[in-house]
Structure 1
Amino acid sequence: MEKELLEERKKVIYELICDELYIPMKMKEIAVLLQVPKEEREDLKIVLDELISDGKIEVSKKGKFSKAEGKFLIGTYTGHQKGFGFVTVEGMEEDIYIPENATNGALHKDEVQVVLTDGKGGKRQEGAITKIISHGMNEVIGTFQKNKNFGFVVTDNVRFAKDIFIPLERSKGAITGHKVVVVITDYGSNTKKPEGKVKEIIGHINDPGTDIMSIVKGYDLPVEFPERVMNQVESVSNEVSGADMAGRMDLRDWQTVTIDGEDAKDLDDAITITKDGANYKLGVHIADVTNYVQEKSALDVEALKRGTSVYLVDRVIPMLPHKLSNGICSLNAGCDRLALSCIMTVDSKGNIIDHKIAETVINVDRRMTYTSVKKILEDKDVAEIEEYKELVPMFELMQELAQILREKRRKRGSIDFDFPESKIILDKLGKPLEIKPYERNVATKIIEDFMLAANETVAQDYFWQEMPFVYRVHDNPAPEKIQKLAMFITNFGYGIKTTQEEIHPKELQKLLQKIEDTPEEALISRLTLRSMKQAKYATVSTGHFGLAAQYYCHFTSPIRRYPDLQIHRIIKDCLRGRMNEKRIDHYEKILSEVAAQSSSMERRADEAERETEKLKKVEYMEDHIGEIFDGVISSITGWGMYVELPNTVEGLVHITALMDDYYIYDENAYELVGEKTGKHYKLGQKVKVEVTATDKVLRTIDFKIAQDEIEEVKDPED
């Protein structure tokens, strides 16, 4: 149909459908009224589809067309491997569910227009995509499969639910099993697959490192630094010059240590501590990275683009090149280093009664590890105490003050979730040898306590100076989530005090203390964590709910986080008397974007880190199929229950794998209940599971309840 005729027909049909004389009509009825011959019915369908896409008319589930009364919203589509998806709309608490027949060809990350339709059983708002505004992905990572006359790529991202057709002449010679980067050239439709061309061959799926590099490429993590950045780094000195030290507080004669993990190479914080009467003098000295990363330089632009260093299981993708992060900016023992120091006077109750923020020069006496300090303070290891005898009084003083600061935070309501992180040991080829929990100890807690104190002190100082700043904020939980948690914990005899609007973090802290060492501890802790919002960066200090802190920022890691680097620059402008109206105006213009970019890059890094961990956990469990493990039920859903093993590996017992009964999901109690046996599977319950299958593509591990566990539970009538 010609364009002019199409527009004319659209106008006529729209007027007809919206005419008050007519009730909603099916396409056949519209065709009869407009006297459209049968051979032109296909053209009529095109016109109707365009009117729906334009948001002018809508169609019911029974196929009747009427004037669009629905509310049109713009959001981002998140696909699901089973064909349906969700649209996230800014400002809406819940995502909109999009059934498979209402996706209108939308692909993962597309910006879409959506119309609200009926609710899904009254539980979740449902919608239909009426228009794709823009495509969110132009490159994908996947596995190439070669056929005789063409190829196709099965994408790694299961949310991108379609294979991509690749003409052989655009395959770059890829063979079956190659991991490739594909540029999408045609996004396809409901009836046609997307089409693309191979941009890069990462490697074969069986080659060491290809799996992790596929994730790196999939998250668009920048590996190499641009040439202009490396050229700039070449000019950076390896030594601190006399000119650099001029005008700084000289703290090189203060007894100073760094305390980090054994494998840490970028040491960006050092500690000094003394005691004067009842008061402690705590110095937290942070690498002065801004001395080497000038604003708007190639280094600075690249650091902002990256936002953060990314710590994957087999590599670190740094925010700054190694010459800086492991060299002149790293507080290496025995080297003069430039620092930005927060020197705090703390009384015997943990109150910070005075502080000074200054540009300094320091020289670290010893590079300590968490393991060594733990051996000295906790294990009372004689050999370790002898090795570091001149520093032992300092470590004892650190432990004393850290306990005071921790107790002060506890009293005000700071929430401490102690879920173990995973430590994955790999061999030289990247194969996982061991997975174990990375436990916090006395030394890790000391550093944590001191960093928190410095971060709060700096944030409060600059808040009251009313300077433009980047804060770390953690908003109060959504009231409905807290109400849901409050209702659930009554099943266990617990309660929390809430108002309709908010809850004090102390209430959640008290709850976590009450459940300590109880069978339901894991269950309630996880549900409490899920009730919380995500922390982020912001230019307005709205407080940090989890820490029960009114003022908080990230000051202590400028080597690996851009917000810390940014606020160091602000602090130095203030210390040097350069914070005039022009600089204030400059910061007010750029900081919102810095906060948004940093929050976004942090989420990307977290997701990539989780993905590589999941991959290596699946690979590890491949060698344990058929073996039986003790575990704890960590999550329960309508499709089964997730069980976490002591080594932090999590797998799914699918509802269909529960063969001894038909199980019903009780959403309110977070339980699976056997229809005949009355057997309950609850969150936090200990179970024995057998590993039955793994899938590296989907990153899943399947369990079933071990036979001896099933046999232990007798029929209630026995």
Structure 2
Amino acid sequence: MSIQKRILELIHREGPLTREQILQKMKVNNDLRKEFKTLIKNMVKEGQLYKDEEKKFHIVSKENLLVGTLQGNEKGFGFLLPEEEGVEDVYIHETKMNSALHGDRILVRLREKREGDKRLEGIVEEVLERSTKTIVGTYDDAGKFGFVIPDETRMGTDIFIPKKRKMGAKEGQKVVVAIDKYPTPSRKPEGRIIEVLGYPEDKGVDVMSVAYSMDIPIEFPKEVLEEAKAIPDTVPANSLRARLDLREVKTFTIDGADSKDFDDAISIEEKENGKYELGIHIADVAEYVRENTHLDREARERGNSVYLLNKVIPMLPEELSNGICSLNEDVDRLTLSLLVEIDIEGNVTGHKLAESVIRSHRRMVYGNVSDFLEDNSKVHYSLEGFEEELLTMEKIARARLKKRNERGNIDFAFAEPNIQLDEEGRPISITVEDRRFANQLIEEFMLLANETVAKEYSDKKLPFLYRIHEEPDEEKLEVLNSIIRPFGYHLSVSEEIQPKDVQALMKKIKGKKEELLISTMVLRSMQKARYSYERDIHFGLAAEYYSHFTSPIRRYSDLTIHRVIKADLNKQLTSKLIARYQSIFPDIASHVSATEKTAQEAERKVADVKMAQYMMDHIGEEFTARVSGITGFGIFAELENTIEGLISYHSMGEFYHFDEENYRAVAEHSKKEFHIGDEIKIKVVAADPIKGRIDFSLGGEEDGEESREGNAGKES
């Protein structure tokens, strides 16, 4: 029995005990007292134990207590989001917050439900873990002292700044503040300014504010930069020994026009047997970033590069990401190459992995390649001499896409924004991103590589990281069915759902009025893709084996499996190394899943900020939009270029309520309804670039006259 279980059993048996009583009753000798004290402290942090005012420890699960994360609200109240599955959120009145801040891990005592209560309510007993160490906000100067007003309004408080700790900040500037003293019931939090970002309208301040607010590391530590600078910027001859030399093979990259780090290059050669050798060449970052170096530890901590429109926060210093690791044109580069034997119909008949050296002969851009594939007479100078290779690759990529679709690949095809900025970082146009075939061509080959590598190392039963996307759970599918049933659709949950079932539904709704609603609800019913040490399916891709192998410059997951592959190729996978990988890979999978989520949230926030900036010049104008979301406080509407704004129920002329079961907003008196996908007229009312929020009101002659009434329009 573990020590934690023994402590829990002791308290369960004898009731609340002080730390000293626990140590005495467990007969802990002096040599182990420190370790036991740390263990008890950790059990409190983990939410297993709770310490009362008499310093006695209670078992949380026996005391009507819940552990979870506080979700604050700008009005002062909050909600506990419980860690225990299946427990509803708990409302916490602003007078019951006990100095907890948004994002804190807290312990909440539930109030007994009274007759008429519609929700659980509670009081914060203790803050178990402070989540916020730094805050981004606007400096408000008060002479002898100042305050920072957080951008994150859910913090519910500003931060007091003593005069000596203002770091020269001026009124109205955006700053980063470190919290030195957390709040008490009688005192605001106190902090010191550690970075002055500049005025909100200064170039880059908006983007950097988002990055700092999400604790994304910006600068590299000195020791990391020193290691990076010590790496040669050319490939030394002695590193080519025993490598497969592919420098004479016609190899090229296809990337965005603004790309500076090139993870992957491709090549194709016809073989004597009439098949092709498709080369997928990936930067051998592991050759330069060795385990347990400063570079490696920093890359692991960052987890991935973050792309914030015109600002890249790289996983690796520029000397590597844009230099020696990047597959730049006309220079030797070390790679891991997957050489796939494939026919023109996309059938794979063999493959080989090898440490290699390549020389990219051409740097191509997606737009130019797409122009050529769509019209073979449009040959940009960068494509000259590669026309035959591109046309052959197109045929194979289309065949691979067809095969993926046949096995059940799910394509949600939501519109993505293309935000164009001027030299000062201001948005000048927002359009829908084109989905052209050059991007698809590269995607197909990268998918092929990721699947091939995952299957090989799963078969070898070696430690590995997989990219998994588990099948949706039955409860979410039941909710989905309740929404799609009125339209005449159904997904079977009596048997194990298959990707083809979802794919068939997506095909049926294509072009229908209900497409946006059902696509949105299907996506919400899906699990989130993540990294895992244990192999599982990738449901969305209908793939039994899947990994991330193709981007080691910008993803630590890829760098991790490259190390396994290289050790395997070089016969260096000893039992000791395998055991070490087995012990650390689960933690790496969990960590890089978390950093990926942070990066995605940051990218979305920056897009929201730029969209709000863009719409500031369009306040008062009317547009046609589609209802894109429905909540308890209003409906969201999306313009054709993907800009989204909120129409609050308060602005809609009469009271509306959210009918969650049928996913609609219904007016109390007129019975007007709004459904996802409805076309409406909107007027731009306000835009807040700091919050990344846009407010609409209903436009048109009759404020929502284009909404549907009663049950009209519910037929498929």
TM-score, reference length from structure 2: 0.87
- 1:439 paired to 2:437: no
Query: 1:77 is paired with a residue of what secondary structure?
Result: strand
Deviation string for 1:253-302 (max 9, x for gaps)?
22222111111111111112244556443221101111111111111111
TM-score, reference length from structure 1: 0.86
Larger deviation, residues 567-576 vs 672-681: 672-681
* 2: CA distance, partners of 1:336 / 1:124: 64
Q: Structure 1 residue 554: deviation in Å?
A: 0.5
Corresponding residue for residue 292 of structure 2: 296
Corresponding residue for residue 352 of structure 1: 348
Show the 5 A alignment for 1:140-179: 140-179=135-174
* 2: CA distance, partners of 1:77 / 1:322: 38
Q: Is the 8 A contact 1:343 1:355 kept in 2?
A: yes
* 1: CA distance, partners of 2:63 / 2:259: 55
- 1:97 paired to 2:90: yes
Q: Is the 8 A contact 1:370 1:444 kept in 2?
A: yes
Q: Structure 1 residue 95: deviation in Å?
A: 5.9
Q: Structure 1 residue 480: deviation in Å?
A: 1.2
Distance change in 2, residues 1:315/1:642 (3 Å) = same
Corresponding residue for residue 622 of structure 1: 616
* 2: CA distance, partners of 1:134 / 1:266: 38
Deviation string for 1:343-382 (max 9, x for gaps)?
12235664433111111111222111110111111133x2
Q: Is the 8 A contact 2:368 2:380 kept in 1?
A: no
Deviation string for 1:151-171 (max 9, x for gaps)?
221111222121112233433
* 1: CA distance, partners of 2:331 / 2:353: 22
Q: Is the 8 A contact 1:632 1:687 kept in 2?
A: yes
Distance change in 2, residues 1:328/1:666 (3 Å) = same
* 2: CA distance, partners of 1:716 / 1:595: 49
Q: Is the 8 A contact 2:652 2:703 kept in 1?
A: no
Deviation string for 1:645-677 (max 9, x for gaps)?
111111011111212x43332212211223343
Q: Structure 1 residue 73: deviation in Å?
A: 3.4
Deviation string for 1:592-638 (max 9, x for gaps)?
22212211211111111111111111111001101111211110112
Corresponding residue for residue 647 of structure 1: 641
Point out where structure 2 has 5 or more consecutive residues left out of the alignment: 1-15, 18-50, 711-716
* 1: CA distance, partners of 2:356 / 2:399: 27
Corresponding residue for residue 563 of structure 2: 569
Letter in 1 for 2:656: Y
Corresponding residue for residue 370 of structure 2: 374
Distance change in 2, residues 1:191/1:533 (3 Å) = farther
Corresponding residue for residue 494 of structure 1: 489
Show the 5 A alignment for 1:186-335: 186-276=181-271, 279-335=275-331
Letter in 2 for 1:689: I
Corresponding residue for residue 342 of structure 1: 338
Show the 5 A alignment for 1:587-598: 587-598=581-592
Query: 1:616 is paired with a residue of what secondary structure?
Result: helix
For this pair of structures, how many residues does the alignment match? 661
Q: Is the 8 A contact 1:278 1:348 kept in 2?
A: no
1:526 to 520, 524, 527: 520
2:630 to 606, 616, 636: 636
* 2: CA distance, partners of 1:97 / 1:648: 34
Q: Structure 1 residue 209: deviation in Å?
A: 2.1
- 1:457 paired to 2:452: yes
Letter in 2 for 1:98: Y
* 1: CA distance, partners of 2:621 / 2:182: 44
Q: Is the 8 A contact 2:283 2:334 kept in 1?
A: yes
* 2: CA distance, partners of 1:152 / 1:172: 13
* 1: CA distance, partners of 2:317 / 2:164: 38
Q: Is the 8 A contact 1:55 1:130 kept in 2?
A: no
Query: 1:384 is paired with a residue of what secondary structure?
Result: coil
* 2: CA distance, partners of 1:126 / 1:358: 60
Q: Structure 1 residue 584: deviation in Å?
A: 0.6
Q: Structure 1 residue 107: deviation in Å?
A: 1.0
- 1:536 paired to 2:507: no
What percentage of residue pairs aligned between the two structures are identical? 42
Letter in 2 for 1:476: E
Q: Is the 8 A contact 2:179 2:191 kept in 1?
A: yes
1:694 to 658, 679, 687: 687
Larger deviation, residues 202-211 vs 532-541: 202-211
Q: Structure 1 residue 476: deviation in Å?
A: 2.0
Distance change in 2, residues 1:400/1:116 (3 Å) = farther
Letter in 1 for 2:325: C
Larger radius of gyration: 1
Q: Is the 8 A contact 1:677 1:715 kept in 2?
A: no
Query: 2:127 is paired with a residue of what secondary structure?
Result: strand
Deviation string for 1:436-455 (max 9, x for gaps)?
22222111111111111100
Corresponding residue for residue 42 of structure 2: none
Show the 5 A alignment for 1:48-87: 50=52, 70-87=63-80
Letter in 1 for 2:672: K
* 2: CA distance, partners of 1:268 / 1:373: 18
Distance change in 2, residues 1:482/1:280 (3 Å) = farther
Distance change in 2, residues 1:151/1:512 (3 Å) = same
Query: 1:534 is paired with a residue of what secondary structure?
Result: coil
Q: Is the 8 A contact 2:362 2:382 kept in 1?
A: no
* 2: CA distance, partners of 1:656 / 1:200: 39
Two-structure CA RMSD over aligned residues (Å):
2.8
Corresponding residue for residue 505 of structure 1: 499
Q: Is the 8 A contact 1:55 1:72 kept in 2?
A: no
Letter in 2 for 1:312: L
* 2: CA distance, partners of 1:213 / 1:711: 39
Q: Structure 1 residue 114: deviation in Å?
A: 2.6
Distance change in 2, residues 1:480/1:118 (3 Å) = farther
Show the 5 A alignment for 1:1-150: 50=52, 70-90=63-83, 92-93=85-86, 96-100=89-93, 101-117=95-111, 126-150=121-145
Q: Structure 1 residue 715: deviation in Å?
A: 11
Q: Is the 8 A contact 1:308 1:560 kept in 2?
A: yes
